[in-house]
């Protein structure tokens, strides 16, 4: 997989997240994650946990949603407030708000979106190319 492919897969994953196509987002980001190592690995895992959490929420699985969202919130911490072109502080805040709403058994009108501050630079040290 070339760096260009990684960037294209990542961008497609972000676009799918923002279109609320969470299962598909997870698939694209996991493809990039497969070839990653630290420091990229936990960053990608955090975004994947968010996507899987909102996928579970959309299917009515409150416990699965809260578990995944909590994991993502823990993993995004070292990447605040911005990491590799992603406004991580903003997505963390929005995910935390939705998690609190889900835990309180209330509803919300829209899922969070991932804001980008610039293009993703690609994996620092891919496991394979």
d(CA 68, CA 65): 5
Q: What is the pLDDT of residue 128?
A: 62
Q: 22 vs 51, 128, 129, CA distance in Å? A: 5, 26, 26
| Cβ count within 10 A of residue 71 | 17
Contact of 8 with 20, CB cutoff 8 Å: no
Q: Summarize the confidence of residues 21-50 as an average pLDDT.
A: 97
Q: Confidence class of residue 2 from pLDDT cuts 50, 70 and 90?
A: very low
Q: Summarize the confidence of residues 17-29 as an average pLDDT.
A: 98
Q: Confidence class of residue 125 from pLDDT cuts 50, 70 and 90?
A: confident
pTM of the model: 0.94
Domains of the chain: 3-103 (1.10.3450.10)
Q: Confidence class of residue 129 from pLDDT cuts 50, 70 and 90?
A: low
The model's pLDDT over 40-84, given as tens digits with 9 standing for 90+, comes to 999 999 999 999 999 999 999 999 999 999 999 999 999 999 999
Q: What is the DSSP string of 73-91?
A: HHHHGGG-S-BTTB-HHHH
Positive/negative CA dihedral, 83, 87, 89, 94: negative
Contact of 73 with 98, CB cutoff 8 Å: no
d(CA 38, CA 124): 8
């Amino acid at each position: 997989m070339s760096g260009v492919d990684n960037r294209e897969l990542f961008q497609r994953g972000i676009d799918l997240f923002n279109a609320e196509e969470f299962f598909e987002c997870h698939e694209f980001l996991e493809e990039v994650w497969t070839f990653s190592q630290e420091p990229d690995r936990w960053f990608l895992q955090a975004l994947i946990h968010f996507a899987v959490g909102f996928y579970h929420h959309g299917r009515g699985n409150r416990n699965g949603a809260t578990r995944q969202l909590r994991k993502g919130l823990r993993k995004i911490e070292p990447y605040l407030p911005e990491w590799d072109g992603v406004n991580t502080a903003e997505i963390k805040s929005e995910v935390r708000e939705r998690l609190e709403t889900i835990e309180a058994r209330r509803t919300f009108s829209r899922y969070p979106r991932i804001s980008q501050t610039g293009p993703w630079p690609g994996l620092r040290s891919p496991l394979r190319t």
